[in-house]
Amino acid sequence: MSAQVEEVRLALGHIELAAHLFGPADGLPVIALHGWLDNANSFARLAPRLKGLRIVALDLAGHGYSAHRPVGAGYALADYAHDVLRVAEQLGWQRFGLLGHSLGAIISVQLAGALPDRISHLALIDGVVPPTLSEQDAAERLGLALQAQLRLDGKRKSVYATLEAGVEARMKGMVAVSREAAELLAQRGLMPVPGGYSWRSDSRLTLPSPSRLHPDQAMAFVKRIACPTCLVVAADGMLARHTALLEQLPFEQVTLPGGHHLHLNDAEGAALVADCFNRFFGIP
């Protein structure tokens, strides 16, 4: 990673988050939000290539070195958005950009739609809106989520005998990543435990959400966004097959080769995404 990287901890009152700082102190303020079960190292290849930006790459609550939510709390999208606003308040940033991947992109879109006057730029990587649900399935969805919460009490986290085994498990996760990407995520994600190593992420992050937005509600956030927005679609990622959704988006869209983690899997992918976002932010 770049020599410019600085590790910080942000005490927000209700929770403490860890973050990496990239770029000049007087650069355009940007908060970077990673994907589900990833951490701030998601931007380890990309952020040093972005010019003129002061990037605060968070470990979202429950991920990496950041604290977990209290017992009884959950990980709703609105709670993540609140965390981001608290970070901005602490840094004195009235207006700031958002750089989001996957879950981080979803949080970014919701925050930019909810408070359009606060967000100056929106740079998204293979994510826009959360999975949606029809009205008639809402009750069943809540029931499944409640049952899963009860079952979680009896589950134990996986323990890997070696660091290498933990890295290989991440490579083969729900969204596969390259070995290099898994190793970067493991730097902030794996911790020693009796018998080996386990991932730091809060087990509650794997629970199904108790509610989902109707498609019209999800698009309402998109329609309220007032800032310049650029969406990178990974050719082999999650969004490319959702052509109907992509056609509805009033955003600049750029399709680049690679999978869902194209900005992290290798240097070539990170360079392509950086070239796209450097043009988007337009800073010499």
Written as one letter, the residue type at 74 is G
Structural domain boundaries in the chain = 6-135+215-281
Q: Which of 225, 232, 226, 222 is nearest to 279 (CA)?
A: 232
**CATH fold for domain 6-135+215-281:** Rossmann fold (3.40.50)
Name residues of the chain where pLDDT drops below 50.
Answer: 1-2
Q: 179-189 vs 163-171: helix axis angle to the nearest 10?
A: 120
Tokens representing 197? 């190593």
pLDDT for the residue 284: 64
What is the per-residue pLDDT for 283? 76
Active site residues per annotation: 102
d(CA 219, CA 14): 30
pTM assigned to the model: 0.96
pLDDT of residue 226: 97
pLDDT digits (tens, 9 = 90+) for 122-149: 999 999 999 898 888 899 999 999 999 9
